[in-house]
Every structure is written in structure tokens, then in C-alpha cells.
Structure 1
Amino acid sequence: MKTAVFICPGRGTYNAAELGSLGRTFPDAGLLAQFENERAFGNQESLMALDSATSFSISRHGRGDNASALIYACGLGDFLSLTDVKVVAVTGNSMGWYTALACAGALSPLNGFRVANTMGRLMQEALIGGQLVYPVVGDDWRDDPARRAKLLELVAEIAARPGLQLALSIDLGGMLVLAGNEPGLAAFEAATPREGRFPLRLTNHAAFHTALQEPVAARGRAALSADLFTQPKIPMIDGRGHIWWPGSTDAQSLWDYTLGHQVTEAYDFTRAVTHAAREFAPDLFIIPGPGNTLGGAVAQVLIRANWRDMTCKEDFQKLQSETPLLVSMGLAPQRATVTEGTRT
């Protein structure tokens, strides 16, 4: 049986192509009904009504209170659908941490939904600041430390200007996700050359993983008690690269991190995946749905870490074609390789 690290996606992964994916793939009708009851109790739109819509709307499906719940449900459903794979660790990108908590057993499936749904709603209600994305690697995905350092110096210089707020939000493989207030984001856009569609503003995204989110974190701590959390059954790697081990995790500390640092400090997805690779040396890295947009970022992290001697995109593509190491469950042929065997 192959071993795997399970990597849960964050916001922005449920888009037009993903319409209907929850209804097609979620394996537990009873659990989905519990999620729907939570939504109804909070006077929120039904997940299945969103998922079965005839067309995708960024103003509807992309809202934090809708997107977070859809993405959590799709990711957890894919975890529950795995067969013939031994998951040795879980991690996630940004709000994917909430999904990872449930996959690992540190939150029950329903409590995980409550955390993801509540934080998505609070983020949407506050909608403080915004985010943009900018590449730090070229088309060949080769690591470029000098370019990364120069861009981060620019971020620090902008943040030092009166009235401007800008900070690293997520280190996402070959991309930097930056967050701040409108003047800070605009200053970065003005100071950097356009590269295709970048710098790219992220619609309906607040200044996640920065100090601007402290009011949201405080509301989250008031709404979600520490007794929701328990010992994980599978090791978890958080947005600092820290590993939470089964049998030695303090639930209060996990609550503190999840509704504190995870909300208000930069999320180092690159470090999380790098530590997962080096600590657990899995056969596979599995990315659940919705979508498959996180695959490139994971590949870029592994290249940067020189995993299996990869140094560029061509190396990754060659290795992936010979001995696949990355499975995106949002792609039907790849999904079939980890869901159609004997359930364990």
C-alpha cells in the first residue's frame, strides 16, 4: 500500500469548472445533511443549491461564507473516498488547515465544518483589506532566491510608508500571496512589471494571514470553543511547518494556533509541504478537490526542496510521467488511482 501526504486546498479553488463536483463526489449523504442543517440554522444558502446552480457566479460562489463551506466539504469528501492508500500526514493551504484538522481527526467532520463555515462567514462580514498574487519563478519553475528576496524587500519598503499596509500572506511555492490595505496593494502593483495576468488581485479575498485580521480572529475565538478540538489520529503540519503529533498534542494550544497565529500571521505553505516531504517521505502527495489549481504550487515546492533531485518543471514532468508522485483528485483519471481500490 502506498503512503501519502494529503494536502487540502484553500480559498479560490471552487470555480465554474467545479460546479456539481460536491454532488458527484461526496460519499456520505448523512454527513452532508448535517452540513446542510448547520447552514440552514445560520440562514445560509444550501450547499447543494450552490453546487447545482446552472451557472457560476463569483459574487455568489466566491463569497467567503459560501466558498469556505464548499471547499471544506469537497476536500473532506475526497479524504473519506480514499482507498488503498495510507495517509501518513495531512497539511493544507490557508483555510485548507481547517479541512486538514478534520481529516486528521483533531476536529470531528461536523466540528470541522463549523470552524470552516464560521471563519468563512466572519471573514466575509469583515472583509478587511485584500490579496494579490505575484510569481517568484519563471516558466521553468526554477527556484530564484534573489528574485524572492528582492520582492520581499519591496514589500517591506512599501509597508514602512505612512498609511500603507502590506505583508506576505502566503509563501505558495512559486508564488507570493501578498495582503494589505488598498494603498499598500496599489503601491505594489505600481512598482512591479506586469507578467501576463500578474500582479493578480483575488476577488472576495481579505488580507488573510496578516495583523489586519485580528478582529476576525477575536470573533472566531469567541464563537468557537477549545473543546471542539482533540488529539489528532494522523500527524498534521501547520502553516509554520510545525508538526502536531498524535498522542502529544495539547488541544488548547491547537485552538490557540488555529484561531490566532493561523489567522493573523503569514502562512508558510512552502515550509509545510517541504517538512511533510522530508519528515514522512511519502510515495504520493494527494490534493483533494475542488479543482486542481494547487498542483502547480506543490510541484514548485518540491522542486525548491530538490525533492528526488528535481530542479525545474521539466524534471517534475518527467518524474510524474514515469512514477507519478502527485495526485490531483479534481482530475478524474488521477482520482481513480486512489479511490477505486479496496477501502481500508
Structure 2
Amino acid sequence: MKAVVVCPGRGTYGKGELGSLLRLHGAKRDLLAGYEAIRAEAGQDSLTALDGAARFEVARHTRGDNASALIHAMTVADVRDLRGVEVVAVTGNSMGWYSALAVAGALAPVEGFRLANGMGALMQAALIGGQLVYPHMGDDWRPDPARKAGLLALVGEIGARPGHVFALSIDLGGMLVLAGNEAGLAAFEAAVPKAGQFPLRLPNHAAFHTALQAPVAAQGQAAFRGLPWQQPKVPMIDGRGEIWWPRASDLGALADYTLGHQVVAAYDFTRAIAVAAREFAPDLFIVTGPGTTLGGAVAQSLVLAGWRGMRSKDDFMARQAERPLLVSMGREDQRGLVTG
């Protein structure tokens, strides 16, 4: 069975995921020991202390320097558990790109962790701006291009106002992740109607994938451009929908993209999934843990791409019931489908 692996980004390790790293992967001492050594060297809380805490603390567990490490570790460990599938490509959402590099072999596991952990720490230390989420699809997941275009026009108009910084951060299936300074965020919140919990501010999130992150990008380039980058063993699809092929990737360009464009420009996760579907025609999309929230964005992206004739949530659910197109390893009822 051919599969595309999708690596989740920030925000996927929540209260329900507390303890999952040690429960599922505590025996992978060879992998975790290298990660713990990097955390100890940086004077950071250990993964064991974070994942094994008595209770989930938003202020502690959602920090960039902690959340990035937990999510990356869970992703790479989950991939080691895959059985009965042929991974034909790897992609990720936002910081999930750092995980994709390690999963695909463009960085050795310990170096992939060094990058994810280090960039998370740099972003947390700077914490420039903020992020919010707002939907452009309805509950039926039927594409509404006019609504999306209208929202993006509003984003551009707000971002052009004096003293306002506001832009698209991530095109995430049926959601727009938007980022900017406080003036920009507040202006958007005032301009759009409430839709349930949306617009929703994301705690401990900076204005990722916008020009506000230029100082973080510069620090990242100084710290991590010299990592031992390698040719990926499987194709990787980045946040522009570009494919990095094994034995044919320019490693200097890969480092430049990862530490430059990927940090300061919008991340098009929707396009990455569409490219994965059309170019690799997988039997299955596998979203690694932790959490299950990214599964919806993958499904919505497939609907937006019209993959296999799907045009709505009902279409996706019918296909999923007939034969799973999507497995979230963070779901106990689905994990066994790909771990044997």
C-alpha cells in the first residue's frame, strides 16, 4: 500500500496527548536519548519531564521550545512504527516541515531534532506577533472560492493600513491561519462575523510564515545552515508544493528554503496535499501523532483538489467508510491500520 506521510505542526500536542510519547515510544531509548541530550545541553526541560508531567499546562506545554520538541519526537517515533506501507512521499504543516526533513532522511534523526528544537526556541524567545484561525469553508466542506477570495482581500487591505501588519500565514485546508501584529489581528477580529469559536487566537504562537519572522530567520541561518544536510531517501513536498527528489536535490537550496522562505513567507499546506495526491497517487495519507486535528485539514485539502471526484464532506466520509483514504496515528481506532 502506497502512502504519503504528513507531519503535523504546532498546536497538535494538547491535554489529551499528555503522556502519549512515553506510553507509545518510551522503549525507543536509542532515539529519545539523542533528543534528551540536546535538551539537556540547552538547559531545557527533558521530554520525559514534559510528557510525564502530572497535568497539562498551557503556559508550559504550548511554548515553542517545548511543543516543537514533543511534536517532532512523536512524529519521528511514529514513523518508525509503520508496517505494511510503502512511503512514497513526505510532507508536513508548518514546523512539520522540520519533521519531514528527518522522516525523509534529509537530516539524520538527531539533527532533525536539533533543527526543530532550536527553531522552536528561537521563535519562543522572540515571540513576534501572533496568529489566529478563521474558516473559509462551511461545515459541509463545499469549496467557496468567492468567500476565500473575499477574506484574503480583507487580509490584504488590513495589512496595507498604517501601523498594521497582517498576512496569510498558512493555507490550511478549509481554514486560513492569519498572522500579524496586535493592530492587524484586532482589526480582522472586528471586521469578520463570529463563526462558532472563530476567529480563534492561538496561544504561544507568533506571526509564523510572515516577514515579521525575518530576525528569527537570520538567527536560524546562522545557527543551522551548517547542519549535515543529506539527499532525501524519499520525495519531500514543501510549503510551496515544490518536490525535493532523492539524489537530485540541491542541498544548499534546501537549507536556504528551510531557513529562509519557509520561515518568512506563507505556507501553502493545501497545495502540498494536492501535489501529493496528484503526483504520487497514494492509496493512503498517514498523519502522524500527536493529536488528530490535522486530519480534517488533509481531508478538506483533498476535497478542494477534487481528488477522486470528492466535492464535499459527505463525499469524503463515503470514501473513507468504503476504504480509508486517511489514517491519523493519534487515533487509537486507526493507528493499528498502519502499525500491524
TM-score bracket for this pair, using the shorter chain length = over 0.9
Q: Is the 8 A contact 2:81 2:339 kept in 1?
A: yes
Aligned ranges for residues 301-340 of structure 1 at < 5 Å? 301-340=301-340
| Superposed displacement of residue 29, structure 1 | 1.1
Aligned to 2:175: 175
Kept in 2: contact 1:226–1:252 (CA 8 A): no
Overall identity of the aligned pairs, in %: 67
Task: Give secondary structure in 2 for the equivalent of 1:53.
Answer: coil
Matched residue of 1:226: which SS?
coil
C-alpha offsets along residues 293-318 of structure 1, whole Å, 9 cap, x if unaligned?
00000000000111111110011111
TM-superposed deviation, 1:54: 1.2
Aligned residue in 2 for 1:14? 13
Asked if 1:212 corresponds to 2:212, the answer is: yes
Aligned mates of 1:226, 1:297 — CA distance in 2: 33
**1-side partners of 2:155 and 2:331: how far apart?**
36
| Deviation, structure 1 residue 288 | 0.4
Distance 1:88 1:20 in 2: 30
Structure 1 gaps of 5+ residues are: none
How many residues align? The count is 339
What is the CA-CA distance between 1:227 and the residue it aligns to?
A: 4.0
- Residue identity matched to 1:7: V
Q: For residues 121 and 308 of structure 1, what CA distance do their matches in structure 2 show?
A: 41
Assess if the C-alpha contact under 8 Å between 2:225 and 2:256 holds in 1: no
1:326, distance to aligned residue in structure 2 (A): 0.2
Q: Matches of residues 1-344 of structure 1 in structure 2 within 5 Å?
A: 2-26=1-25, 28-340=28-340
Q: 2:106–2:231: 8 Å Cα contact kept in structure 1?
A: yes
Amino acid at match of 2:256: D
Tell me how far 1:281 sits from its aligned partner. Answer: 0.2
Name the CA distance, whole Å, in 1 between partners of 2:32 and 2:49. Answer: 13
Query: Aligned partners of 1:220, 1:92: CA distance in 2, in Å?
Result: 19
In structure 2, give the amino acid aligned to 1:12.
G
Deviation of the 1:130 alpha carbon:
0.2
The alignment's TM-score, normalised by the length of structure 2, stands at 0.99
Which amino acid in 2 is paired with 1:18? E
Q: What SS does structure 1 have at the residue aligned with 2:267?
A: coil
Structure-1 separation of matches of 2:61 and 2:266? 25
Q: Distance in 1 between matches of 2:204 and 2:335?
A: 29
Aligned-partner Cα distance in 2 for 1:210–1:165 = 9
AA in 1 matched with 2:294:
L
Tell me the distance in 1 between the aligned counterparts of 2:57 and 2:28: 26
**Structure 1 position 333, deviation (Å):** 1.9
1:66 partner amino acid: N
Q: Is the 8 A contact 1:226 1:251 kept in 2?
A: no
Deviates more, 1:17-26 or 1:67-76: 17-26
Distance 1:98 1:79 in 2: 14
Instruction: Give, in whole Å, the separation in 2 of the partners of 1:146 and 1:160.
Output: 21
In 1, distance between residues paired with 2:132 and 2:205?
A: 9
How far is the alpha carbon of 1:78 from its aligned partner?
0.6
Indicate the SS of the match to 2:209. Answer: coil
- Deviating above 6 A after TM superposition, structure 1's stretches of 4 or more consecutive aligned residues are none
Cα offset for 1:279?
0.1
> In the TM superposition, what whole-angstrom CA distance separates every residue of 1:17-40 from its partner, at most 9, and x where no partner exists?
001110122252111011011100
Checking the alignment, whether the CA contact within 8 Å between 1:11 and 1:94 is kept in structure 2 is yes
What amino acid sits opposite 1:184 in the alignment?
G
Going from structure 1 to structure 2, the CA distance change for 1:46 and 1:227 (only over 3 Å counts) comes to: closer
Cα RMSD after superposing both structures: 0.7
Could you tell me whether the CA contact under 8 Å between 1:327 and 1:335 is conserved in 2? yes
1:162 CA displacement: 0.2
TM-score (norm 1): 0.98
User: Aligned equivalents of 2:226 and 2:265: distance in 1?
Assistant: 20
Q: Could you tell me how far apart the structure 2 residues matched to 1:29 and 1:138 are?
A: 44
Say if 1:65 and 1:124, in contact at 8 Å, map to a contact too. yes
1:121-176 deviation per Cα after TM superposition (whole angstroms, max 9, x unaligned): 00000000000000000010111100000000000110111000000000000000
Secondary structure at the residue paired with 1:94?
coil
Q: Provide the C-alpha distance between the structure 2 equivalents of 1:227 and 1:185, rounded to a whole number of angstroms.
A: 35
SS at match of 1:221: helix
Please tell me whether the aligned partners of residues 111 and 227 of structure 2 are also in contact (alpha carbons under 8 angstroms): no
Partners in 2 of 1:239 and 1:131 — Cα distance?
A: 18
